[in-house]
Homo-oligomer: A and B are copies of this chain.
Amino acid sequence: MNARSTTLVADTGRRNEAAILNAALEAFGTKGFNGASMRDVAKGAATSLSNLYNYFPSKSKLLAEALRHANAELQARVAGAVRDAGDDAPSRMREAVRAYVGFVVDHPVATLVATNEVRYLDPEDRAALVTDRDATQATFEHIVAQGAADGTFRTPYAADAARAILSTVGAIASWYRPDGRLSRGQLAEQHARYALALLESPLPQ
């Protein structure tokens, strides 16, 4: 069962750190990195502006840290789902997509920040984050490669399929509303099927 906490970052041991990180995700997600001010973040974290600098040395590093947490959570969910899945490529892809959809639905704002605001990081932080993200993507790519190798996924464009799948799932964050037509589970099911179909995998029925 997936945890569905409203805030992404749990207590970190330092008094206000989690509150600041979550407020940063919220502020950057709502107004964009450049549109949100450190004052906005401070207000969201219910602390003072100057206190932010006791935790993070700059706005940019604050974004980096927030994104690190978001990525770690995403990666953990996906990795766990794959671990718990069967051995065949379709099952593993199915569960990976379902986990990813779950994360996006639980944390759409963080997902938006992770896709839209990465470019405002310092080069080194951006590089580190892209590496993290690539690790997640690699999980999907391995599954695709597995299915392509054993003939289950018959798409002639296996090399790029993972990226196509991930962009579709990530885009959910930009339109998803909790009270929308589709439930969390339906959305996961739907995107799992989209993914397998795109991979030209045999489908039930």
Binding site for B on A (CB under 8 A): 32-35, 115-116, 119-120, 155-157, 160-161, 163-164, 167-168, 170-171, 174-175, 182, 190-191, 193-194, 197-200, 203
Known: A157-B194, A193-B157. A32 touches B119 (CB 8 A): yes
Which residues of B sit under 8 angstroms from A163, Cβ to Cβ? Answer: 171, 175
Interface centre among A34, A171, A198, A203 (most CB of B within 10 A): A198
In the complex, chain B residues whose CB is within 8 Å of the CB of A32: 32-34, 119-120
Among candidates B33, B35, B171, B198, residue contacting A167 with C-beta atoms closer than 8 Å: B171
Contact A157 B198 (CB under 8 A): no
Cα distance A1–B171 in the bound complex, in angstroms? 31
Q: How far is the CA of A203 from the CA of B201 in the complex (A)?
A: 12
Chain B residues lying within 8 Å of A200, measured Cβ to Cβ, are 197, 203
User: A159 — nearest CB in chain B belongs to which residue?
Assistant: B181
Q: How many copies does the complex hold?
A: 4
Q: Knowing that A155-B193, A197-B200 are A-B contacts, what are 17 other residue pairs whose CB atoms are under 8 Å apart, sorted by A's residue number?
A: A32-B32, A32-B33, A32-B120, A33-B34, A34-B34, A34-B35, A115-B174, A116-B116, A155-B197, A157-B193, A164-B171, A167-B170, A168-B168, A168-B171, A171-B171, A197-B198, A198-B198
CB proximity of A63 to chain B, nearest CB, Å: 13
| A32 nearest CB neighbor, chain B only | B34
| CB neighbours of A174 from chain B (8 A) | 115
Complex Cα spacing A182 to B157, Å: 11
Residues of B within 8 A of A155 (CB): 193-194, 197
B116/A193 in contact, CB under 8 A: no
- In Å, the complex CA distance between A193 and B121 comes to 35
In angstroms, Cα B116 to Cα A58, docked, is: 24
